[in-house]
């Protein structure tokens, strides 16, 4: 028999080809709230301990393997636009995968859209914020309609008769996905339409026109004609939109259905093909004599809708914090089980440095987000100092946390190596989602300009900011950074050109003060040494030698 004719062996003795080892077990079926020490501490400290059991219920739900799978399905099967029915009638509907409806229904059932308004009490915004962070472990896309419904009420209350009509619908804990008039539904959700093709963030350049039907004025009926470049969550039941009335840019409540039960005069032109947030629909819409009612005073549209925007900006801060927590939990879970070069990854000092750096970034984000949520509770209770602090810190933290989220997600993904680059890990979805919160409700430049505007128009807000920082100045690094920042703010030359640098330093200073007061000693010291003391590089994993990496990592570990 020739060599070519010899039978080949189907296996080599002693060689295993199909046994899987040295792979991490997935991080599923755990309570994401109870596994997050930083968040548990913040809930208690910031006045929401009364809601711990409710937040824990959200955490158990969001950490379930079945619910995490729903998030994957909702993103793998994005919404589809149906403009007409089979007979050619205009319907303007968006079809979602059943997984989306399950996730959104759970969010409504947990009152993530309504808790502070249904049960107004100290700590209500903190409780809701913590639950919002927890649900982000399962899926971020449903946060859009949830956030807008949560945020619409402060703006809508500028028009009491409209608030009286719509609040009970928005506060319902029943999710009703049917496309029919709101009075016939068990509950309603709210959306928003501000930007237009020619204006973007410059909403005063909007060209959509509002024509009064019965004399005009607050609460009156108008017809809207124009186009919105982005209208979020187009299957919601009503939307706050901006349009040009005779007296200037004004705010309007636009419902999908007319009072007589017929469709309102609008057309969904297309859905946006987005980088991330693919489970959620974002649309372009055309108004063709659409019926709407004015909210607030004519010409005061920006001032009216900003009440909604401020609350959605809080949710951008919460959403960025949620993404960081997901990333570091996944990174530590993988590195704690994976071996390389004869040792577990977490035994290697360089990987310890990376994981610890990711952990303190996440902890600082969570602590500062929860502190901001407390300011919302205190401001509602009439605390003027809290209102001033919220005025400036909302933009400072929205800028910085959402800016840090994409790079944090990228480094967290890299900790999983090639496993993190494949879709099945969930990390690519986290990475694509990360830039959204920086863009939504005003990009980085808009936030920086808002900080400068607050300094000029509300000088008390800057003093409230420094008063908060001063509580952590027992640490000399915080005190020195605060002194340097005050000196820089004394120079008004080319302030706008320096705005990003200033706001970044404000964010790090605030986070450093909060970490000194509220975090464990190891992450607090590492944060101040790196972010304030200058012993830090330009990438994660550059904390100073001698940092207690193990203590920081163990604190951030999500024990299942």
End-to-end CA distance of the chain: 60
* Sequential DSSP letters for 190-241: EEEE---TTTTT-GGG---EEEESSS-STT-EEEEEEEEEEEE-TTSSEEEE
Q: What is the pLDDT of residue 10?
A: 54
Helix (H) and strand (E) counts for the chain? 20, 11
Confidence check: pLDDT of 4 > 50: no
pLDDT in tens, 54-111: 999 999 999 999 999 999 999 999 999 999 999 999 999 999 999 999 999 999 999 9
Per-residue pLDDT band for 1 (boundaries 50, 70, 90) equals: very low
CATH 2.40.110.20 domain extents, the chain: 185-300
Confidence of residue 11 (pLDDT cuts 50, 70, 90): low
- What letters, b where the CB count within 10 A reaches 16 and e where it falls short, cover 240-261? bbbbbbeeebbbbbbbbbeeee
Residue 441 predicted with pLDDT over 80:
yes
CATH number of this structure's domain 185-300, picked from the four choices 3.40.50.300, 2.40.110.20, 1.10.3210.10, 3.10.440.10: 2.40.110.20
Distances (CA, A) of 471 to 179, 395, 413, 451, 516: 51, 21, 36, 21, 9
The answer to whether the beta carbons of residues 466 and 486 sit under 8 Å apart is: yes
Q: How far apart are CA 414 and CA 331, in angstroms?
A: 8
All CATH 1.20.140.10 domain ranges of the chain, comma separated, are 303-556
What's the length of the chain?
560
Tell me the pLDDT tens digit for each residue of 262-292.
Answer: 999 999 999 999 999 999 999 999 999 999 9
Instruction: Please name the helix (run of DSSP H) or strand (run of DSSP E) that holds residue 293, with its range, or none.
Output: strand 282-295
Question: Longest C-alpha distance within the chain, in Å?
Answer: 102
**The pLDDT of residue 12 is above 80:** no
Task: Name the CATH architecture for the domain at 303-556.
Answer: Up-down Bundle (1.20)
Question: Average pLDDT in the 389-416 region?
Answer: 98
Question: Residue 487 CB: number of other CB atoms within 10 A?
Answer: 9
């Amino acid at each position: 028999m020739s060599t070519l004719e010899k039978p080949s062996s189907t296996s080599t003795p002693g060689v295993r080809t199909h046994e899987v080892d040295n792979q991490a077990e997935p991080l599923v079926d755990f309570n994401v709230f109870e596994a997050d020490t930083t968040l548990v501490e913040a809930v208690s400290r910031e006045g929401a301990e009364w809601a711990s059991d409710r937040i824990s219920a959200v955490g158990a739900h969001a950490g379930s393997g079945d619910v995490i799978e729903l998030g994957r399905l909702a993103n793998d099967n994005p919404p589809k636009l149906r403009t007409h029915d089979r007979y050619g009638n205009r319907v303007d509907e968006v079809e979602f995968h059943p997984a989306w409806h399950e996730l959104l229904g759970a969010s409504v059932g947990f009152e993530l859209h309504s808790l502070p308004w249904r049960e107004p009490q100290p700590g209500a915004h903190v409780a809701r914020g913590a639950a919002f962070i927890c649900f982000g472990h399962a899926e971020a896309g449903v946060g859009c309609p949830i956030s807008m419904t949560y945020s619409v009420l402060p703006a809508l209350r500028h028009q009491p008769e409209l608030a009286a009509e719509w609040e009970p619908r928005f506060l319902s804990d029943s999710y009703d996905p049917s496309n029919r008039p709101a009075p016939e539904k068990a509950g309603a959700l709210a959306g928003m339409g501000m930007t237009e093709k020619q204006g973007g963030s410059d909403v005063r350049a909007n060209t959509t026109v509002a024509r009064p039907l019965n004399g005009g004025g607050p609460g009156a009926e108008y017809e809207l004609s124009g186009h919105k470049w982005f209208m979020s969550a187009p299957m919601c039941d009503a939307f706050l939109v901006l349009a040009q009335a005779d007296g200037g840019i004004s705010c309007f409540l636009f419902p999908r259905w007319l009072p007589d039960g017929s469709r309102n005069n609008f057309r969904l032109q297309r859905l946006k093909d987005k980088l991330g947030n693919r489970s959620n629909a974002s649309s372009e819409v055309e108004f063709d004599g659409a019926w709407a009612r004015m909210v607030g005073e004519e010409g005061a549209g920006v001032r009216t809708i900003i009440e909604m925007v401020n609350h959605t900006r809080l949710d951008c801060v919460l959403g960025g914090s949620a993404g960081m927590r997901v990333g570091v939990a996944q990174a530590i879970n993988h590195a704690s089980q994976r071996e390389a070069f004869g040792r577990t990854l977490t035994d290697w000092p360089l990987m310890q440095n990376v994981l610890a750096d990711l952990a303190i970034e996440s902890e600082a984000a969570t602590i500062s987000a929860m502190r901001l949520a407390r300011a919302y509770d205190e401001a509602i209770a009439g605390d003027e100092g809290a209102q001033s602090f919220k005025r400036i810190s909302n933009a400072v933290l929205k800028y910085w946390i959402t800016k840090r989220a994409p790079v944090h997600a990228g480094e967290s993904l890299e900790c999983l190596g090639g496993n993190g680059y494949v879709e099945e890990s969930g990390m690519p979805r986290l990475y694509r989602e990360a830039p959204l919160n920086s863009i939504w409700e005003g990009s980085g430049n808009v936030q920086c300009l808002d900080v400068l505007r607050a300094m000029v128009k509300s000088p008390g807000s800057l003093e409230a900011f420094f008063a908060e920082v001063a509580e952590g100045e027992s640490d000399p690094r915080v005190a020195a950074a605060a002194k340097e920042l005050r000196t820089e703010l004394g120079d008004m030359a080319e302030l706008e050109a320096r705005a990003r640098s200033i706001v970044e330093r404000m964010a790090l200073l605030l986070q450093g003060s909060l970490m000194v007061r509220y975090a464990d000693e190891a992450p607090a010291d590492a944060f101040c040494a790196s972010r304030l003391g200058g012993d830090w590089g330009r990438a994660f994993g550059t904390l100073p030698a001698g940092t207690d990496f193990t203590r920081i990592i163990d604190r951030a570990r999500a024990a299942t």
